[in-house]
Amino acid sequence: MPILLIGFLSSFCQIRNPDSALGTSENQISTSYLINKSGDTLRGPIFPKRKRGSIQSIEFNNEKTFKPIDITEFGIKGLVYMGKVVNVDKSPKIENKVIDTVFLEVLSKGEISLLFYVDEYEKNHFFIARGSKVEELVLKVTPQGDGVHSFYTPVYKGQLKSYFPKFVDLHGEIDKTPYTRKRMQSIFVKCYEREYGKESLTMIAKDEKVEVDFGITGGLAFSKINFDGHYSDGSVPLIAKIDFKESITPSGGIFFDLKFPRIAHIFSLYNELQYKQLKTSGSFSERGLVDGSIGTVTTTTYINEKFLKYNLLFKFRTSRKENTPFFNLGLANSFVVANGDYMTFSNASTGYKRDLTPDSKNFEQGLLFGIGYLSRSFCFELRYERSTGINGEANITSKTNSFYTMVSYNFLNQKKKSK
């Protein structure tokens, strides 16, 4: 069974300080907020709307949309963004620099600050902010003309050196720094701390981490098993002639829902450990022999299988709102923890009992699809699962169709709500 390594995200947002050049103080708050052009601070849920890597706008409190030109700043999950008018080098898609109004993410804040932006072409951009001035650290990209290769001019390396001219010993490290989020922030922090000291620098954003929701789930499983196939001589096995009753049993377990940075509002990886039981029976009568006695023989089959399941699902939300419909699909991996299957044969005078199959498997895999409705703490879901069954006899299948009605409770979302 897969072992999940889950990282928890410690989220902090910044409180506004009117005297700060960037409009945020070093004190942090746990709620999302935005500051409009009038200087008013509004608090409530914020949902970024992205186009590829770029935040085009945000939806505030599920009712109003703001673009970069509309607000000064917003904070969400420990990240702070500024609405700024900047000169951006979007080469090679656009040959000349363009003036654009965008949301810049604050990576590190101090006497001078490092800002970050991903444009609609998924190119990284880094900016240095000093007072009201914002300058891009430029990586110029020039196509070589073959339609495949480009020439990269790392203008940003010389710019960084000009901001920290005294520390020549760090210039060699600047020359080796690629134009990536982690490495650019690392060299900026190293240079900044030498120039201004650690005390005046605030690390607002580090690498974004995966969040996890944890909770319990329970409900009912409605299952129908069907044996099918034939032996090598073409004859149909007795068990394939039996019509089994529907199995209705309780089912439940625990779940871990992994939410990834930037796409958490639309997609998550849902992991579930679930207990399930398949309990049913069926009978079939025909003329035959039981212990040498000829007569009408009734075959009754009892199935009582208990499973520990690991469900791995891709979960898609249909909107960015907190309360939203969703659907999911993925794999249902079932491990048999108990098997009480057997058959009885009887007529008017005698009878006997034997195991259902001499070769039962301990694992079955199925496909699972679900639809439901997600609220802050509760989830209501209908599922359909089709699995291969555990029968191990050659040419004989025991496919199982299952429907589930499930209710889940999210402990961590409830904890976040109470803070």
Pair (170, 220) in one structural domain = no
Tokens, residue 218 = 């329970």
Q: How crowded is residue 350: how many other Cβ atoms within 10 Å of its Cβ? A: 13
Pair (199, 216) in one structural domain = no
Pair (232, 315) in one structural domain = yes
* Structural domain includes residue 6: no
pLDDT value at position 334?
A: 95
Tokens, residue 229 = 């196939």
Number of domains in the chain: 2
d(CA 90, CA 123): 8
d(CA 106, CA 129): 10
DSSP 164: S
For residue 133, give the H/E element and its range: strand 133-137
Cβ neighbours of residue 15 closer than 8 Å, sequence gap 6 or more? 24, 25, 27, 28, 29
Domain ends where: 180, 203, 226? Answer: 203
pLDDT value at position 414?
A: 52
pLDDT value at position 348?
A: 65
Pair (247, 394) in one structural domain = yes
Pair (219, 238) in one structural domain = yes
* Structural domain includes residue 138: yes
Q: In terms of residue numbers, what domain contains 165?
A: 13-203
pLDDT along the chain (419 residues), means of 10: 37 33 39 88 87 82 89 88 93 90 92 92 92 92 85 95 93 94 92 90 70 93 91 80 93 93 82 96 80 76 94 90 90 93 80 77 93 92 93 83 96 57
Cβ neighbours of residue 6 closer than 8 Å, sequence gap 6 or more? 210, 212, 256, 258
Global pTM reads 0.60
* Structural domain includes residue 221: yes
* Structural domain includes residue 104: yes
Residue 368 · residue 382 · CB < 8 Å: no
Pair (179, 309) in one structural domain = no
Nearest to 402 by CA among 176, 193, 220, 243: 220
Domain ends where: 147, 177, 203? Answer: 203
Q: How crowded is residue 81: how many other Cβ atoms within 10 Å of its Cβ? A: 25
d(CA 221, CA 387): 14
* Structural domain includes residue 3: no
Domain ends where: 152, 180, 203? Answer: 203
Residue 316 · residue 342 · CB < 8 Å: no
Pair (102, 17) in one structural domain = yes
* Structural domain includes residue 79: yes
* Structural domain includes residue 4: no
Pair (236, 365) in one structural domain = yes
Tokens, residue 416 = 């976040």
Cβ neighbours of residue 94 closer than 8 Å, sequence gap 6 or more? none
Nearest to 237 by CA among 380, 359, 61: 359
Identify the CATH number of the domain in which residue 301 sits.
Answer: 2.40.160.20
Pair (151, 235) in one structural domain = no
* Structural domain includes residue 240: yes
Pair (267, 411) in one structural domain = yes
Pair (372, 265) in one structural domain = yes
Pair (393, 279) in one structural domain = yes
Nearest to 369 by CA among 336, 330, 334, 339: 330
Dihedral sign (CA 93, 99, 102, 106): positive
